[in-house]
Amino acid sequence: MKFLLYDILLHISVVILLPYFVVKMFTAKKYREGIPERFGFIKAEKIRAAAGSPLIWIHAVSVGETKAVTPVVKSLKQRNPGVKILFSTVTSTGNATAAKDLSGLIDALIYFPLDLSWAIKRVARAFSPAAFVVVEKEIWPNIFLEMKRANVPVIILNGTISGRSHGRFLRFSFFFKEVFGCVSLFSARTEDDRKKAIEAGVREGNARTAGNIKFDLSPPSAHPNYLDTIKEALRVSPSDAVMVAGSTHPGEEEKVIAAFKAISKEHPNARLIIAPRHPERFPEVEALLKRSGLEFTKRSKGGGAKIVLLDTIGELMPVYSFSTIAFVGGSLVPGIGGHNLLEPAYYGKPVLWGPHLTTYASMAELLEGNGGGFTVSNENDLAEKAVALLSDKVNRERAGTAARKVVEANRGAALKSVEAIEWFMKRSKNNRATL
């Protein structure tokens, strides 16, 4: 009865919000993409492309989760060339990232259906997965229950539960206990995440700590001259001190620009590359740069301006590779939780982040504890720490080396994840053989 009530309330919510989304569909492209798939209507060619056994359905909500699970997908395919992979995302940027970074590795790419009982059943029955893999923290009651009814294991990789979500799961335990009881494996980032999952309802024997798969990141494959092409387009020279501000959100670009003005006074050779987290904000940030009165250009236009707006998708990590220092956004303003600090750390770059970093707190502790990264409290602190790093090559390189060592020392979770998926694949095969 409680899940029937959930389904009814979900349908009512969709009806109430429909006028809002209709307006959005006319004003923003991302709301028009994948509408049939979100309601469970998948093109026949996608179903045919993923036909075969075993089929693993991997779901990653957006860009960060897609990039995080990429090493798992690559390894799974390398070790099991015959496996079929259905990949789903919620956001258009996540979908575009998967299409680019996982090209040749996945057999079908779809938008994740709304958690409406009939939409979920349409997709589940169209593909008949051998396992359903969720990346990080997506908890959808109807699909979890549908997978359990079909005897399909639900695997949560890189599982994490925030303090706020944990409180909500406990407060409504009469509902979520059964939802989490559908989880066959909760592969947690940390021991704290594992304990929270058990308290939420995952059976103790189904929860384990495997580490963070984001430490297993690797740069997306690209043409050998790809980096040189970007650097030439932006006229980046070896003498430039390049600060990259990646994955920024509203309220952060102003602070970064203010910090850069102070940095430029101490380092006239300094350059700034700003990469907003969401592509739809490119015009907004461009307008902000125009109002600032500073010289700037867009990546799509090229040129050697002091400030570059990275108005492309999928180029942030390559750009981190030729940065001098990096600031990771979503952390100077509250309510977001921060973003992946390891992308610049992978390239041995000192990493800076703001005080509102919660989602990646354990990652920040490792970097800061080993001298590879630094918390900044505001734009003035950002300017001061950036100037200090740019002024001291020895300390800057020491910090960069420490950051890279943190990445290397914590790898291995991706392989554990692949081995877990393989175990369930083998079990599924054995079960079919006995039927």
Q: What's the rounded Cα separation, in Å, for the pair 85 and 64?
A: 19
- DSSP H helical segments within 117-162, as ranges? 117-127, 141-149
Cβ proximity of 129 and 55 under 8 Å: yes
206-242: buried (b, 16+ CB within 10 Å) or exposed (e) per residue? bbbbbbbbbbbbeebeeeeeebeebbebbebeeebbb
Check residue 20 and give its pLDDT.
66
Residue spans of the domains in the chain: they are 32-42+49-211+412-434, 226-409
Tens of pLDDT, residue by residue, the chain (435 residues): 788 889 899 899 888 877 766 666 666 666 667 889 999 999 999 999 999 889 999 999 999 899 999 999 999 999 999 999 999 999 998 999 999 999 999 999 999 999 999 999 999 999 999 999 999 988 999 999 999 999 999 999 999 998 889 999 999 999 999 999 999 999 999 999 999 999 999 999 999 999 999 999 988 777 778 889 999 999 999 999 999 999 999 999 999 999 999 999 999 999 999 999 999 999 999 999 999 999 999 999 998 899 999 999 889 999 999 999 999 999 999 999 999 999 999 999 999 999 999 889 989 999 999 999 999 999 999 999 999 999 999 999 999 999 999 999 999 999 999 999 999 998 766 665 544
Check residue 263 and give its pLDDT.
98
What is the assigned CATH class of domain 32-42+49-211+412-434? alpha beta
* Amino acid identity at 148: K
Q: What's the rounded Cα separation, in Å, for the pair 311 and 330?
A: 18
Task: Identify any residues that bridge with 243 across adjacent strands, giving them in sequence order.
Answer: 272, 325
The CATH fold of domain 226-409? Rossmann fold (3.40.50)
Model-level pTM? 0.86
- Cis peptide leading into residue 268 (ω within 30°): no
Backbone angles phi and psi of 139, in degrees to 5: -115, 110
Check residue 24 and give its pLDDT.
61
Check residue 434 and give its pLDDT.
46
* Amino acid identity at 100: K
* Amino acid identity at 98: A
Q: Do domains 32-42+49-211+412-434 and 226-409 have the same CATH topology?
A: yes
